[in-house]
Amino acid sequence: MRFYYEAKFPRFYPYRGADALAIVAVLAAVALPNYQSYVKRAEFAQVIEDFDALKIALELCWELEGDLKTCDTSYGEIASAISGLPDVLVRIYPVDPIRTQVRLYSETVMLSSGSRASIQYGAMATSGGTLNWSITEDSSSCLAEDICTL
């Protein structure tokens, strides 16, 4: 008794292309928002990294002047540090002689609301002559969209 195997090749059915297109569409719907979030986090990480130069300038101003109210955007080293920050707007709000707030706005990273992503740091002078830095949670819009962390 002999068995013969007859290969049957499937015919082309138009719906097979639609199946593949549906799979690609689902994958794109999942991957695209994750990629956009990744790009925002990467761009904003550069803003945070650029802040280090400004932080050093503020600390130098504090050491030389002893009064954070004089350490604003017009102070020499701070002004030059700010000019070296591409695509970043800087606002400095001196609170009193030993406290200040620094807010950084990204020119390139936009939030879903259409506003610029921002992060605000607060500095408080300690008795040892150094500044303690912290992130101001309620004034940092980057936290709401999870593009920066505390």
Q: Is 53 part of a structural domain of the chain?
A: yes
Burial of 113: CB neighbours in 10 Å, binned 0-12, 13-18, 19+: exposed
Structure confidence at residue 134 (pLDDT): 87
Number of domains the chain contains: 1
Q: Is 86 part of a structural domain of the chain?
A: yes
Structure confidence at residue 150 (pLDDT): 66
Q: What does the block give as tokens for 17?
A: 């292309």
**Mean pLDDT of successive 10-residue stretches along the chain, which has 150 residues:** 61 66 87 86 84 84 84 83 82 85 84 84 80 86 82
Q: Is 117 part of a structural domain of the chain?
A: yes
- CB contact set of 123 (below 8 Å; sequence gap of 6+): 58, 62, 68, 99, 100, 101, 102, 131, 132, 133
Q: Which domain holds residue 89?
A: 14-143
Structure confidence at residue 2 (pLDDT): 65
Q: Is 8 part of a structural domain of the chain?
A: no
Q: Is 2 part of a structural domain of the chain?
A: no
